[in-house]
Amino acid sequence: MIETDLIWHNGEFVAWEDAKVHVLTHGLHYGTGVFEGIRCYETARGPAIFRHLDHLDRLERSAKLYYMELPYTVEQLRVATHELILRNGLNSCYIRPIAYRGYGHMGLNPLEAPVEVSIAVWPWGNYLGDEGTRDGIRAKVSSWERISSRSLIPQAKASGQYLNSVLAKIESVKAGYDEAILLDERGLVAECSGENLFTVRDGVIATPSQSAGILDGINRRSVIQIARDLGYTVLERDVTRSELYLADEVFLTGTAAELVPVREIDDHGVGAGEPGEVTRVLQRAFLDALNGRSERYLEWLDLVVAPAVGGQAVPERASA
Ligand code: PPE
């Protein structure tokens, strides 16, 4: 069980065990919440959050797509997160901000229900295991189709949407695999239950584009940039299922997973059945960027600092 001392809940720092909601919380019944997954790394210059503002901007955008007005500004959430990490005495951690329709109104119109915001931080190791990160994972193409923009908003990181990922993940785990690869409504590759996907063939990197209904992953964008900076060609284009089997290399990116090689898909070895050269090069460069070891990408890191004296230690709610 994960546990740290404090959680930030509607503008206050509360003890872990006191961060509770009512059973009639709207978001619990209808999935009316939006969230983020962010990581803070221990760097030579202190704890630093990878692309913090990009994540908080996406949180705000996800909220707007579901007609939720966040009662805090991005800057207030940024400062609150810094203080939460410091107060919990953490050097590296996973960060989970969530905004959701709270208690007070039932029924499918959520507009009268209050918008509540919480932020939790906790140490979280390798999402797909140390072994997976090192040797690669085994994936299965899911029988579940990735949600499309005909019924939901794939680019939004909304709680209810994750039932799709949950079904795919359960199916893959019960079948003995580590992760699920979801196809889109056209039968083309979209992404995994919680990661974006890349293929490598003849040295060229390809990844499904936004039209495949993917989450616009922040690590996906980062790895595309790093790969191009290293001189690789990266194409955002349609990727077919058969290309997965024919690829020399396949790897996944995400905040929780970071960069993970895929060594097997539907019981076909990918390439030589072990992480390939391009994957290794990118994994090393990406981990250097995350951990603040790369001068070139230092601007992606938001150094965790104590709130300035007289500054806003505990953000006020924008609307009472
Ligand atoms: N697709 C999905 C569906 C997804 O949930 C994630 C993040 C990504 C792609 C990669 O996005 P980004 O982190 O911005 O590069 N998945 C989060 C949830 C993990 C969880 O178990 O919860 C994460 O990695 O934090």
- 309 CA to middle of ligand 1, Å? 35
161 lines ligand 1 (CB under 6 A): no
**Nearest residue (CA) to ligand 1, atom 18:** 194
Which pLDDT tens digit goes with each residue over 103-160? 999 999 999 999 999 999 999 999 999 999 999 999 999 999 999 999 999 999 999 9
Q: Are 229 and 282 in contact (CB under 8 A)?
A: no
Pocket test for ligand 1, best of 196, 219, 286 (most atoms within 8 A of CB): 196
SS (H, E, C) the chain: CCCCCEEEECCEEEEHHHCCCCCCCHHHHHCCEEECCEEEEEECCEEEEECHHHHHHHHHHHHHHCCCCCCCCHHHHHHHHHHHHHHCCCCCEEEEEEEEECCCCCCCCCCCCCEEEEEEEECCCCCCCHHHHHHCEEEEEEEEECCCCCCCCCCCCEHHHHHHHHHHHHHHHHCCCCEEEEECCCCCEEEECCCEEEEEECCEEEECCHHHCCCCCHHHHHHHHHHHHCCCCEEECCCCHHHHHHCCEEEEEECCCEEEEEEEECCEECCCCCCCHHHHHHHHHHHHHHCCCCHHHHHHEEECCCCCCCCCCCCCCCCC
Separation of alpha carbons 212 and 240, rounded Å:
11
Q: Is 208 in the pocket of ligand 1 (CB under 6 A)?
A: no
Tell me whether residue 174 is one of the annotated catalytic residues: no
pLDDT digits (tens, 9 = 90+) for 42-65: 999 999 999 999 999 999 999 999
Task: Give me the pLDDT at residue 308, please.
Answer: 73
Cβ–ligand 1 contact at 283 (below 6 Å): no
Which among 64, 140, 157, 169 is annotated as catalytic? 157
Q: Which tokens in the block code for residue 119? A: 């932020």
How many Å apart are CA 153 and CA 227, to the nearest integer? Answer: 28
Query: Ligand 1 pocket: which of 49, 126, 195 to mutate (most atoms <8 Å of CB)?
Result: 195
Distance 258 CA to ligand 1 centre (A): 10
Residues above pLDDT 90, as percent of the chain: 93
Q: Is 255 in the pocket of ligand 1 (CB under 6 A)?
A: yes
- Write down the pLDDT at residue 1: 62
127 CA: nearest ligand 1 atom: 21
pLDDT in tens, the chain (320 residues): 678 899 999 999 999 999 999 999 999 999 999 999 999 999 999 999 999 999 999 999 999 999 999 999 999 999 999 999 999 999 999 999 999 999 999 999 999 999 999 999 999 999 999 999 999 999 999 999 999 999 999 999 999 999 999 999 999 999 999 999 999 999 999 999 999 999 999 999 999 999 999 999 999 999 999 999 999 999 999 999 999 999 999 999 999 999 999 999 999 999 999 999 999 999 999 999 999 999 999 999 999 998 776 554 444 444 43
Model pTM score: 0.95
pLDDT of residue 307: 79
